[in-house]
């Protein structure tokens, strides 16, 4: 079998899972990332291993993807999650009114649930707002946002993939309208050089549009940041969600000795220019305290923004209107050969995104190589460094 070479642009969750998938299929992979791996959106996300229940009513495609990937990740990355499940808590009468739609949506999407009374909920999570009316238990969990993708990278690396952080793509190498590689600068040495490729995959998250333009194509990606606030103290062991239509500040994820409240949503043009608006920080405190009152007096550890790569029309104003699912673009459809973009999605579905993309890539290369990432158990994250 000819040894095809694929260059992946972007070392976040998507690029990492794709490097792993393609390497298992016998493709030679070079991954280039302009900074440290996961230093884009991936490292900064909420750390939620989604059960999908959050999307069970309004975005069922995404919800089904989430629960499927949730189960796969537990199998291929054992020991990488705080698996304490999650609760969707109803605090107000309005929340209660959402219950039926929520339960129906979860059933349709295959998300297991267990309804708990107020007393049962408070026994599991004593810091909950005593006004809680009922709660629904779902298979949410906490993931370490950086260390999980590192497992994909470690496995890919040990199977022969070349991972190049601090290597920034400056332009594409083209022959007519065919992409033949990338021209990069290595920020470790300061030197520039070319990397030839049979196919280049754009996995640059909210920077996907910037990268795609280098090949003369457009991808409809709207960077949509949100603010997250981490406070000192682990106020809950289970993930706490608000039982209502997705809104701001309605999830509290425990992480080690911190509690992370998120998130909000707006749209920007430049994913490198992310503010952390003061009003959003206050909003996280306010909304978080509605679920766990102790939040109100908890000291802040950090407040930061991360930009989701949302696919959709340019008309969006807050980002919440756009789907959370993912899409793979084969730019041959636009006349540009040798170039594929994968964007959108969520950290929980990175492996699934990679499977779809790798299927497209190997088909373009004319290979018959099925996906094996559902079964292969990943190396520990520490293996990335040794």
According to CB under 8 A, which one of 9, 17, 134, 238 is a site residue for other proteins? 238
- Binding string to other proteins for residues 258 to 277, with x set by CB under 8 A, is what? x-x-----------xx--x-
> At closest approach, how far in Å is the CB of 313 from other proteins?
27
> At closest approach, how far in Å is the CB of 320 from other proteins?
22
Rg (CA), the chain: 21
Name the segment binding other proteins (CB under 8 A); options: 172-180, 209-217, 335-343, 375-383. 375-383
Cα torsion at 171, 176, 180, 183 (round to 10°)? -20
Name the segment binding other proteins (CB under 8 A); options: 16-24, 75-83, 332-340, 357-365. 75-83
According to CB under 8 A, which one of 93, 100, 257, 333 is a site residue for other proteins? 257
Q: What are the CA-CA distances from residue 94 to residues 90, 243, 245 (Å)? A: 8, 9, 10
Q: Does 296 bind other proteins (CB under 8 A)?
A: no
d(CA 21, CA 201): 13
Beta-sheet strands, E only, within the chain? 5-9, 28-32, 48-49, 81-82, 86-90, 114-117, 134-138, 141-143, 162-164, 167-175, 178-186, 192-196, 199-202, 221-232, 239-242, 251-255, 258-262, 300-311, 326-330, 339-344
Give SS3 for 41. coil
d(CA 185, CA 314): 31
> At closest approach, how far in Å is the CB of 258 from other proteins?
7
Give the residue with the Cβ less far from other proteins, 211 or 228.
228
According to CB under 8 A, which one of 36, 94, 192, 194 is a site residue for other proteins? 36
Name the segment binding other proteins (CB under 8 A); options: 94-102, 198-206, 321-329, 374-382. 374-382
**Would you call 334 exposed, middle or buried from its count of C-beta atoms within 10 A (0-12, 13-18, 19+)?**
middle
According to CB under 8 A, which one of 85, 321, 330, 334 is a site residue for other proteins? 85
Q: Does 101 bind other proteins (CB under 8 A)?
A: no
Q: Could you tell me if 89 and 252 are in contact, meaning their C-beta atoms sit under 8 angstroms apart?
A: no
d(CA 306, CA 313): 20
Q: Does 99 bind other proteins (CB under 8 A)?
A: no
Q: Could you tell me if 71 and 122 are in contact, meaning their C-beta atoms sit under 8 angstroms apart?
A: no
Residue with the two structure tokens 């309804």: 115
- Binding string to other proteins for residues 176 to 215, with x set by CB under 8 A, is what? ---------x-xxxx-------------------------
Give the residue with the Cβ less far from other proteins, 304 or 334.
304
Q: Does 83 bind other proteins (CB under 8 A)?
A: yes
Give the residue with the Cβ less far from other proteins, 154 or 311.
154
- Binding string to other proteins for residues 300 to 319, with x set by CB under 8 A, is what? -xxxx-x-------------
Q: Does 385 bind other proteins (CB under 8 A)?
A: yes
According to CB under 8 A, which one of 65, 68, 144, 198 is a site residue for other proteins? 144
Total number of residues that touch other proteins (CB under 8 A) = 61
> DSSP secondary structure string, 76-141?
HSTTSEE---EEEEE-SHHHHHHHHHHHHHHHHHT---EEEEHHHHHHH-TTS-TT--EEEEE--E
Query: What tokens does 157 get?
Result: 């690396």
Using CB under 8 A, list all residues that contact other proteins: 35-39, 42-44, 47, 79-85, 114, 123-127, 137, 142, 144-147, 166, 168, 185, 187-190, 228, 230, 234, 236-238, 254-258, 260, 272-273, 276, 278, 301-304, 306, 380-382, 385-386
């Amino acid at each position: 079998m000819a040894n095809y070479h694929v260059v992946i642009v972007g070392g976040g969750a998507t690029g990492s899972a794709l490097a792993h998938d393609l390497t298992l299929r016998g493709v030679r992979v070079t991954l280039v990332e302009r900074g440290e791996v996961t230093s884009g959106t991936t490292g900064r996300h909420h750390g939620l291993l989604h059960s999908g229940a959050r999307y069970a009513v309004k975005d069922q495609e995404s919800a089904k993807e989430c629960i499927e990937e949730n189960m796969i990740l537990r199998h291929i990355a054992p020991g990488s999650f705080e698996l304490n499940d999650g609760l969707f808590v109803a605090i107000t009468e309005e929340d209660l009114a959402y219950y039926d739609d929520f339960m129906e949506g979860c059933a349709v999407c295959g998300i297991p649930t267990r309804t708990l009374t107020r007393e049962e909920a408070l026994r599991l999570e004593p810091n909950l707002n005593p006004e809680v009316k009922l709660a629904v238990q779902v298979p949410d969990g906490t993931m370490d946002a950086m260390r999980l993708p590192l497992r994909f990278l470690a496995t890919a690396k040990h199977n022969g993939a070349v991972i190049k952080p601090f290597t920034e793509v400056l332009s594409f190498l083209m022959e007519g309208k065919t992409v033949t590689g990338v021209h990069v600068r290595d920020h470790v040495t300061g030197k520039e050089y070319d990397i030839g490729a049979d196919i280049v995959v754009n996995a640059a998250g909210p920077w996907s549009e910037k990268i795609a333009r280098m090949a003369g194509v457009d991808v409809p990606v709207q960077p949509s940041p949100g603010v997250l606030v981490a406070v000192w103290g682990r106020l809950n062991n289970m993930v706490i969600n608000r039982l209502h239509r997705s809104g701001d500040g309605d999830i509290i994820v425990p992480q080690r000795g911190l509690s992370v409240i998120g998130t909000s949503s707006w749209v920007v043009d430049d994913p490198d220019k992310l503010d952390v608006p003061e009003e959003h920080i206050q909003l996280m405190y306010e909304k978080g305290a509605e679920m766990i009152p102790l939040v109100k007096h908890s000291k802040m550890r950090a407040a930061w923004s991360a930009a989701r790569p949302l696919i959709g029309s340019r008309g969006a104003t807050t980002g919440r209107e756009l789907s959370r699912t993912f899409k793979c673009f084969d730019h041959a459809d636009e006349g540009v050969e040798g170039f594929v973009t994968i964007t959108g999605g969520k950290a929980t579905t990175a492996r699934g995104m990679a499977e779809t993309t790798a299927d497209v890539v190997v088909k373009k290369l004319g290979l018959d190589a099925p996906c094996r990432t559902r079964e292969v158990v990943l190396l520990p994250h520490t293996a990335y460094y040794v």
